[in-house]
Amino acid sequence: MTWFANILALPRRLQAALAGVLLLLLILLVFPFKLSTAPRWRLRVVDDSGAAVQSIKVTEHWQHYLVESEGHEEVLTTNGEGVVDFPERTVRASFVSRLLGKLRRFGSMGAPLRPGPYASIVVWGRRDYETVVAVYLPEAPLPTEVLVHQQR
């Protein structure tokens, strides 16, 4: 007897329960759950003296390498207190797409070895200040202040 014939030999109630469990499992495998790529990132830009640097550009870059093939970016300008506030970055992906992403990363030689989320900010855009980069590491506290040095 084949496995299919064995299932058909089961009582109807058990067949229905088995079909329900299989349907639930299928839904869980393909449902696009929300993944966090980067948390809300509010940061203050200060100069060597600790004063707020206003009207300087800050670019946030983010990408979830397992499920996205291209990155994203948003440019904001600091306010009067030297603050920018980037929202939380998320992406929706199913377990199947995450598994396929892992397999693609594993199978592609020379690909970056970033296994999941990545985010960074770049402070730039004023000639009197150096460009500065800060990187989000999921296992470390998020930087909330960035020091930019004046050009000499």
More confident residue, 34 or 80: 80
Q: What is the pLDDT of residues 22-79, one digit of tens each?
A: 888 888 778 888 888 999 999 999 999 999 999 999 999 999 888 887 899 999 999 9
Using an 8 Å Cβ cutoff, are 69 and 105 in contact? no
CB 129 within 8 A of CB 53: yes
The confidence score (pLDDT) of residue 14 equals 81
Query: Running DSSP on this structure, what letter comes out for residue 7?
Result: H
pTM for the whole structure: 0.76
In terms of DSSP bridges, do strands 41-46 and 145-147 run parallel, antiparallel, or are they unpaired? parallel
- pLDDT over 60 at 140, yes or no: yes
More confident residue, 45 or 110: 45
* Diameter of the chain measured on Cα atoms: 84
